[in-house]
Amino acid sequence: MFGTDIGIDLGTATILIFEKRRGVVLREPSVVAVDQDTGNILAVGYEAKNMVGRTPGSIVSVRPLRDGVIANYSMTEAMLQHFMRRVTRGWQRFFRNRAMICVPSGATDVERRAVLEAALEVGAKEAYLIEEPMAAAIGAKLNVEEARGKMVVDVGGGTADIAVISLGGVVVSKSLRIGGDKFDEGIMRYLRRQYNLAIGEQTAENLKIMIGTCIPMDEEQRMVIKGRDLVQGLPRQIEVTSSAVNMAIGEMVQTLVDGVRNVLELTPPELSADIIDRGIVLTGGGSLLKGLPELISQQTGINCFTAENPMECVALGTGRALAEIDKLRGSGRSGILVNVRKGRKRR
């Protein structure tokens, strides 16, 4: 039996795996539940995420990826092994697979090498890396090989990658340590400061998804949330408005927009003209935040829109790039493949 090509979006908040001929076959939170006393892994993915903030003292839920890169190598390897067994329907089959994994455009050489090593350690025959904005552009069905500029803003859980792409390469790029997780943290801080209410990560995430917005809305939305009163130490519930969430994440959203403006300032004039014609494409889960395309359009004067299936764009792009790997390697253009490492026998 021959192996297959696998594309992996190794995200801070969510892991997506693309398999040739089957499309996106797995979407799970990047969370691992561990028993601190024994070191045993108790749960991975959705099951582990549901344990966050609800476990006994000896059990902790770990996010092995932070800001788009590996923070806990052993946990990342164990998590990948778990997901690969599910996707490839057995351990041995993965040895015949080629894998392409995305990394933030601002990742260091050490961080890139750690991602590559993780893929090889779980048994990939060959492993490749691709920058997230390039994968997002390919997944959004943009023609990255033509001599016309395209601008992609990929807003993930831990990072936001902004890039201008032309002729199969990244011309200008910027990686910001801002994403969905930072928005959640901002909401938690705001409620602590304004309402003396402590809430968990999942509550903050739900609040962001349900009524989060980047711009003032004509009709104010409201949501009742529950948490712990920091003064009395008792459970309490309050009603939060969409304008309050806007204030909580406003500074971080503005930093993201400023990053877009900064990349536009560094873009060559001819490519700037192309971007005016074609607009700015948003991908990633963070791009679903209400009002984000409109805010970027207001502050840049350029049409901005969200790609089709924004949460799957990077995973789809890794798979499509791997399918064209021989053509892309032969073209000799920079930007498609950041690093290549032949697989080795597993120790």
Domain boundaries, the chain: 5-135+313-342, 141-177+256-311, 180-248
What's the mean pLDDT in 166-189?
Answer: 92
- Interval 69-90: pLDDT, tens: 888 888 888 888 888 888 776 5
**Contact in structure between 283 and 155 (CB atoms under 8 Å):** yes
pLDDT at position 262: 96
Alpha carbon distance 181, 209 (integer Å):
12
| The model scores a pTM over 0.85 | yes
Q: What CATH number labels 141-177+256-311? A: 3.30.420.40
**Mean pLDDT over each residue of the chain, to the nearest integer:** 86
Domains 5-135+313-342 and 141-177+256-311 share a fold: yes
| Mean predicted confidence (pLDDT) in 141-153 | 92
> Rounded CA gap, 10 and 33, in Å?
18
Q: Is the pLDDT of residue 338 over 70?
A: no
pLDDT of 57: 73
The per-residue DSSP string of 258-274 comes to HHHHHHHHHS-HHHHHH
Pairing of strands 14-19, 5-10: antiparallel
The answer to whether 127 touches 116, Cβ cutoff 8 Å, is: yes
Phi, psi for 339 (deg, rounded to 5): -155, 150
Q: Over 70: is that where the pLDDT of 268 sits?
A: yes
Q: Given a cut of 50, is residue 333 above it in pLDDT?
A: no
* Residue matched to tokens 């959004």: 140
Give the pLDDT confidence score for residue 306 in this predicted structure: 95
Does the domain made of 180-248 have the CATH classification 3.90.640.10? yes
Q: Could you give the angle at the alpha carbon of 275 between the alpha carbons of 14 and 310, nearest 5°?
A: 20
Exposure on the CB side of residue 37, measured as CA atoms within 13 A? 4
Task: For the domain made up of 5-135+313-342, give the CATH fold.
Answer: Nucleotidyltransferase; domain 5 (3.30.420)
Indicate whether 274 pLDDT > 50. yes
Is residue 144 scored above 70 in pLDDT?
A: yes
pLDDT given at position 326:
66
Encode pLDDT of 113-133 as tens digits. 888 888 888 777 888 888 899
* pLDDT of res. 89: 66
For residue 162, is pLDDT > 80?
yes
Question: What b/e readout covers 19-47, taking b as 16+ CB neighbours within 10 angstroms?
Answer: bbeeebbbbbbbbbbbeeeeeebbbbbee
Say if residues 307 and 140 touch (Cβ distance below 8 Å): yes
**212-241 pLDDT, tens per residue?**
999 888 889 999 999 999 999 999 999 999
d(CA 208, CA 290): 9
pLDDT tens, 100-110? 888 888 888 88
